[in-house]
Each structure stands twice: as structure tokens, then as C-alpha cells.
Amino acid sequence: MSPRPRTVQDDVILDAAIEVLGTMGPEKMTLADVGNAVGLSAATLVQRFGSKRELMLALLRHTLGGIDQRVDAAVADTASPLDALFAAITEIPRELTTNIGLGKRLAFYLLQLEDPEFHGVAVEYAERRVAGIKNLLDDAVAAGELTEGYTNTAQLAETVYAMTLGSMMTWSVANEGTVKAKLRRDLDLLIRPFRRGPRKASNSSTDRNGAKASESMAAARSGTGF
């Protein structure tokens, strides 16, 4: 007898788990909570994933893969490596645009690091992110957007990644403006000394209330700021 078809696919369950995680946090979230969000029983999720741990491991892989897809889509929209870098760093999924949601997601990553499998996935993702940032920095040097011979792209890529995590954590505590504006402003300050041409502050800065000024792609390409 062939197995019964699944009425709810794994991706749908994991997307629902992301929403539950952003509301409840990793410690309070249960299989029953996730099941209620998609109309399945906790027992069904145990059959599907095995345990809460396995569900959360699948969730970690799912969320990191989703970030890759959003970044790829963002960088495909521009021919400027620096524009692509800013897009890759500031592309934030909807569930992370509140300080509580972002804080709970950061807690999810950090609380699982003692588990070797979770740690392995996190390390793999960090390495991919740093490598991707380095590729964009190398492209920016080749395109003349960053100074050649002065920029150590390997070290700068690691610093950009560290800045990203630090900026998100800082914003989740301060909760001023938007996280995207915070990331863009901090990246602008970090990258500015390495740019060729005028090194002005970002044109897309935000005030304390989160009001955005216009973001000029033409200005970015001319090296006058983001």
C-alpha cells in the first residue's frame, strides 16, 4: 500500500514554525504550537520530523536557505558590486523587521550552538556568507569601486559579516528606526575608507523615527554614497 499523500508540505510547516518562533522564542515553542499553526497534531509532526530538536534543526537549515534565495534575488537586480553588497547585507525577511522577532531569531541561533549539528550548520552558513561577501568585494575592486592594493578583501569580508550580526543585535535592543537603515548606515561607515572617489555619508540614512530618505542607485554607482 502506498503511503498517504501529505496534506501539508514540510516547507509550509517550517514557514509556520518561523512565525511561531518569532512570537514565542525557541525555548517556549512546542510541536503542538507549530501543529496548531498548520492544522496538524503534535503526533503528526513527531512522525514527520522525529522530535522538537529535529524540527528546529530542519528549521535552521530552512531559514538559512531562504536567506540565500533572498540575497541572490537582491544582487541580481544590479550591475554594481557595491550596490549588490549593500543589497545582500540589508535584505531582511519580513519576520525579522521587528526588534522582538529579530531578537528571538538571534536567540534561536545562539542557544543551539552547544549542539554539534546545529553548530555545524551555523559554521557552514557563516563560511558561505563570508565567501559571498568576499566575492562581491573582489568584484568591487575589479570594477574600480574600491581601492586596489589597499583592501584586504578576506579580512574585510569577515569584518562585514561580524558587523552585520553586531548591528542586528544592537538594533534589536535600541529599536530605533529600521533594521535595514541601521545595517545600511553601519556598512556605509565601514566601507567608506576603502572607496575610490568621494567618501560621503549614506544618502539613505534614517532619522530616529525611521523616516527614510531616497536611496539613489546612481549616487551609489558614482561612489558618492548609499
Predicted structure pTM score: 0.75
- HEC string for 52-99: HHHHHHHHHHHHHHHHHHHHHHHHCCCCCHHHHHHHHHHCCCHHHCCH
**65-221: CATH topology:** Tetracycline Repressor; domain 2 (1.10.357)
Q: pLDDT value at position 190?
A: 96
Q: pLDDT value at position 225?
A: 29
Q: pLDDT value at position 101?
A: 83
Tens place of pLDDT for every residue, the chain, 226 residues? 444 446 788 889 998 988 888 888 888 899 999 999 999 999 999 999 999 999 989 988 887 776 667 667 767 778 899 999 999 898 887 777 888 888 888 888 787 788 899 899 889 888 988 988 999 999 999 999 999 877 899 999 999 999 999 999 999 999 999 999 999 999 999 999 999 865 444 444 333 333 333 333 333 333 322 2
162 to 73, 75, 151, 207, 209: CA distances (angstroms)? 23, 20, 17, 24, 26
- Residue ranges of the domains in the chain? 65-221
Q: pLDDT value at position 179?
A: 93
